[in-house]
């Protein structure tokens, strides 16, 4: 029968480098290129701005993409009156509003999802009430 030896834990302690005499951070080619460019950034931006102001759409696009956050599409909020009936009635009202064009499909989808979540909460409430009634009935019996 062969026994398997366990390997000793790692040779280095946490935070200790495996190659302490290795390359120092920041001494790579990319760091050197960044350092060389960093000195010229104000002049590059001024030139790019001048080109954009002269009508260069590529320069304008580059400046705007880097300086201003992109706009996100947003739907206008739309008020909708939901009936006081069942959750099913409310879901039908939402679908009717979407079909009639009074409500955006994305908003309708979100409302239907919210109604579904509300149905789950109502189910939990109903189960809690039924369980409480059963416990009361069981404890009342002699």
How far is it, in rounded angstroms, from Cα 46 to Cα 32? Answer: 23
CB 122 within 8 A of CB 128: no
Under 8 Å between Cβ of 74 and 107: no
Tell me the pLDDT tens digit for each residue of 59-99: 999 999 888 888 887 777 888 888 888 999 999 999 999 99
pLDDT digits (tens, 9 = 90+) for 89-111: 999 999 999 999 888 898 999 99
Burial classification of residue 94, based on how many CB atoms lie within 10 Å of its CB (0-12 exposed, 13-18 middle, 19 or more buried): buried
Sign of the C-alpha dihedral computed for residues 101, 105, 107 and 111 taken in this order: positive
* Helix, strand, coil percentages, rounded to 5, for the chain: 60, 0, 40
pTM of the full predicted structure?
0.46
The pLDDT of residue 66 is 86
């Amino acid at each position: 029968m062969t026994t398997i030896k366990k390997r000793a834990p790692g040779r280095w302690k946490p935070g200790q480098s495996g190659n302490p005499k290795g390359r120092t951070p920041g001494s790579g080619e990319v760091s050197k290129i960044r350092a060389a460019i960093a000195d010229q950034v104000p002049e590059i931006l001024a030139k790019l701005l001048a080109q954009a102001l002269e009508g260069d759409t590529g320069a304008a696009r580059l400046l705007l993409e880097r300086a201003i956050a992109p706009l996100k599409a947003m739907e206008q909020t739309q008020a909708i009156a939901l009936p006081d009936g069942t959750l099913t009635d409310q879901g039908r009202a939402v679908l009717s509003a979407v079909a009639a064009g009074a409500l955006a499909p994305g908003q309708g989808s979100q409302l239907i999802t919210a109604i579904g979540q509300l149905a789950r909460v109502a189910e939990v409430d109903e189960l809690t009430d039924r369980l409480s009634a059963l416990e009361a009935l069981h404890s009342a019996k002699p």
